[in-house]
Amino acid sequence: MQPLNVLRTSLIESGVVAVIRTDSAEPIPEIARALLRGGVRAVEITLTVPGAVEVIRDLCIEWGERALIGAGTVLDAKACDSVIAAGAQFVVSPIARTSLVPIAHEAGRVLMLGAYTPTEAQAVHESGADFVKVFPCDTLGAAYIRSLRAPLPHLRIVPTGGVDLKTAPEFIRAGCAAVGAGSSLMPKALVRDRRWDDLTALASEFSRVVAEARSPVHE
C-alpha cells in the first residue's frame, strides 16, 4: 500500500473518480477495465452494489497499484473497516461522518467526506478529511464552487452529481481537486449492451477535458 500522501496526490492527478453504482456486481470488472483503458484510474465502488466488498477485494488484487480502487457510500465505522480490510485505497462517504477520519488514517487510507454548505465543508476539512465531496452538485454548479473557495481556498473539493463532459472542465477551472462522475461517465445503455470500447472512448474524453482544463492555456 502506498503512503497516504502518495495516495492523496495520485487521486488528485487522476482528475476523474468513476463512481460505479450498478444493480449487479457482475459487470463491474469489465467496467473497471474499460475505464482504466480510457485513462480513468480512480474507481469507486459504492456499497449499494450487491457484494461490493468482494468486488473491491478482487479489483485490488487484479490491479494492485496500477489503479486507485475505492469504496463509496460508506456510512459507518463497520462499513469503513470492511472496505479497508478488502484493500480499498480511498473511502468516500456522502455525509459528514467525521468519526471515519481516525479509522481511515490509522490504516493509511484517503478519506473523502460529504458536505453541501460552507459550514459543513469547513467542518469536514477541520476533522482531517483529505477531500470534501460536495454532493449533490447538480443544482449548485461551478459558480457555487468558485464562491465557496473564495473565502475557503484551502478546501480540496471533489464535486459529484451534475458532472458531465461539459461541466467537468468548469468544475476543474473553479478550483476543484478532481471530479466524481457516475451515470454521465457510465451510461446505463453502454453497460447494458456491454459496449466496452464505447465506454473506454467516453472515459478517454473525460480524461482529456479534465487535463485540458488544468492546462495553463485554459486557465
Q: What is the pLDDT of residues 117-161, one digit of tens each?
A: 999 999 999 999 999 999 999 999 999 999 999 999 999 999 999
Indicate the domain borders of the chain.
Answer: 4-207
User: What's the pTM value of the predicted model, to 2 decimals?
Assistant: 0.95
Structure confidence at residue 51 (pLDDT): 97
Q: Which residues are catalytic?
A: 44, 133
CA pair distance 31, 188, nearest whole angstrom: 11
- Options 3.30.70.380, 3.30.565.10, 3.90.1530.10, 3.20.20.70; CATH of 4-207: 3.20.20.70
Structure confidence at residue 42 (pLDDT): 97
Structure confidence at residue 217 (pLDDT): 58
Blockwise average pLDDT, block size 10, the chain, 219 residues: 90 97 96 97 98 97 91 98 98 98 98 97 98 94 97 98 96 98 96 97 98 78
For residues 110 and 4, the answer to whether their CB atoms sit within 8 Å is yes
* The three grid cell numbers given for residue 204, joined into one nine-digit string: 478517454
* The three grid cell numbers given for residue 60, joined into one nine-digit string: 485490488
Structure confidence at residue 64 (pLDDT): 77
Q: 164-171 contacts: CB < 8 A, separation 24 or more?
A: 165/205, 165/206, 165/209, 167/141, 167/142, 168/16, 168/206, 168/209, 168/210, 168/213, 169/209, 169/210, 169/212, 169/213, 169/218, 170/141, 170/142, 170/213, 171/137, 171/142, 171/145
Rg (CA), the chain: 16
What percent of the chain has a predicted confidence (pLDDT) above 70? 99
CA pair distance 140, 172, nearest whole angstrom: 14
CA 217 to chain CA mean position, Å:
26
Sign, CA torsion 73/145/162/55: negative
Integer angstrom CA distances of residue 192 from 11, 42, 89, 109, 186? 28, 22, 28, 32, 10
Structure confidence at residue 65 (pLDDT): 80
